[in-house]
Structure 1
Amino acid sequence: MPVAAPQHRIALLGGGFSLDDDRILDDWVLGLARAPRPSVCFLPTASGDAAAYVEKFHAAFGDRADCVPSVLQLFRRELDDDALRAHLLAQDVVYVGGGNTANLLAVWRVHGVDRLLREAYDRGTLLCGISAGANCWAEGSHTDSYGPLTHLPDGLGLLPGSVCPHYDTEPGRRPSYRAAVTSGDLPGGWALEDGAAALFTDGELTEAVTRTPEAALYRVDPDGRGGLTERRMPCRLLDPPNR
């Protein structure tokens, strides 16, 4: 029988272990993996490999029997180029943490991680992340990488359009993102409230979920008349964990 082509998938997270204690969105991510006991590599690059963030990942994933967790730290890099490539391509899930999107992209490019993640994506690794870890996959994003909220017309470009995280929880996010899309500083894209998550397959939205009834995903586009449209997408409410 012919071998099925790998799926090209990205998940944008409005939560997970760094924001929530219930593991609902993390369980959802693991359920999307191609393996029953997936290898999950956490990249805390956007936080400067903050020790507390790494410890929080270990606390959330280290005691799980349903995955094999690891952490890739680039500010304290220990792997040579061959070992780095082998490790990333062996992952079923790459989980990117929040922090500074612009710094994340710069550090990845210095170490060649941007190219390796594209290769992993082409081979079927699920790429996911929260905040900067959601921004990085798109063509552009809404960010506070430079202090004030602004647009960043940069990213890996694996997901068409732009991304805005924390759409409902950080003051100024919504009007600032809407203004950037209206002006053309950012292409239309996806605005994610904390608590929601979205799965994209080959660049198309294939599932939207939420851990709370209130959290939502929005599609924001210019309307061609100097304004914009904002559509709230249907989200499936996830069940709480049975632990």
Structure 2
Amino acid sequence: MAPSAPPRRLALLGGGFSTDEDGLLDDWVLGQARTSRPQVCFVPTASGDAPGYAEKFLTAFRSRACEPSVLTLFRRELDDDALRTFLLAQDVVYVGGGNTANLLAVWRTHGVDRLLGEAYDRGTLLCGISAGANCWAEASHTDSFGPLDVLRDGLGLLPGSVCPHYDSEPGRRPSYREAVASGALPAGWAVDDGVGALFTDGLLTETVTRARAARLHRVEPDGGGGAVEHALGARLLELRMK
């Protein structure tokens, strides 16, 4: 009998090492990995491979039970075969924030979009914050072009749309609701800062939060020209005594 395919999993993050001091969401991500000491690759493409961003990731993850690395593409060092080997060896791919549209364009230029799809099918956990959450969906709500707008050419690994920073950036909530109501974006997931949402084979399987009031929201058209929003329950992450 042929072995069954591993579950395909991705996580939308409303925080992590770049914004939070407690490390709760990053610890949660590592807890979803398929091994006890996972290979974790940070991909800072959306920030233009900002060196400070990469170093902040390494500082945060070197002290954890994992093997951290960084993939840079603006000054690429790996040929096509080595790039494929490297990405498929990762247990977790963690994508940083920045410009979603630029991120997708650079990935497609280097074939990273196809390689991440292959890694996903093989059981690598894909995750990220802001642009690193937007990129996995079919479409997203983004400020890649300046004002808040819609982007319809995501990787499509997660059905529907994603909106990050739903509770923290002015204009996000009404703009995303309007886009879903008008059909400019498909129904989707709005992520408050502090939330982590795990999807398995495209279905929501766990929601956590490091902030009591923060939630994941399902936003759908209401059939009458508006949008309806459902706030979902989430497990509160708490610091553990070491």
Q: Distance in 1 between matches of 2:210 and 2:63?
A: 22
Query: Which residue does 1:35 correspond to in 2?
Result: 35
1:139 to partner: Cα distance: 0.4
State the one-letter code of the partner of 1:79.
L
State the one-letter code of the partner of 1:59.
T
SS in 2 for 1:30: helix
Instruction: List runs of 5+ in structure 2 lacking aligned partners.
Output: none
Post-superposition Cα deviations, 1:58-106, rounded to whole Å, max 9, x if no partner, equal 1101222x10000000011100000000000000000000000000000
TM-score calculated relative to the size of structure 2? 0.98
Counterpart contact for 1:140–1:151, Cα < 8 Å:
yes
Which 4+ runs in 1 deviate beyond 2 A? 1-5
Query: Which residue does 2:172 correspond to in 1?
Result: 173
Counterpart contact for 2:100–2:142, Cα < 8 Å:
yes
1:154 to partner: Cα distance: 1.5
Query: Which residue does 1:10 correspond to in 2?
Result: 10
Q: Distance in 2 between matches of 1:116 and 1:241?
A: 36
Q: Distance in 2 between matches of 1:230 and 1:146?
A: 26
1:239 to partner: Cα distance: 1.8
Q: Distance in 1 between matches of 2:2 and 2:154?
A: 34
Map 1:189-208; keep pairs closer than 5 Å.
189-208=188-207
1:2 to partner: Cα distance: 6.1
Counterpart contact for 1:47–1:100, Cα < 8 Å:
yes
Instruction: List runs of 5+ in structure 1 lacking aligned partners.
Output: none
Map 1:149-168; keep pairs closer than 5 Å.
149-168=148-167
SS in 1 for 2:41: strand
Classify 1:226/1:9 alpha carbon distance in 2 versus 1 (closer, same or farther; 3 Å).
same
2:116 equivalent to 1:102: no
SS in 2 for 1:198: strand
Post-superposition Cα deviations, 1:5-44, rounded to whole Å, max 9, x if no partner, equal 2010010000000110111000000000001100000000
SS in 1 for 2:162: strand
State the one-letter code of the partner of 1:109.
R
TM-score calculated relative to the size of structure 1? 0.98
- Give the percent of matched residue pairs that are identical in Structure 1 and Structure 2: 74
Q: Distance in 1 between matches of 2:156 and 2:30?
A: 24
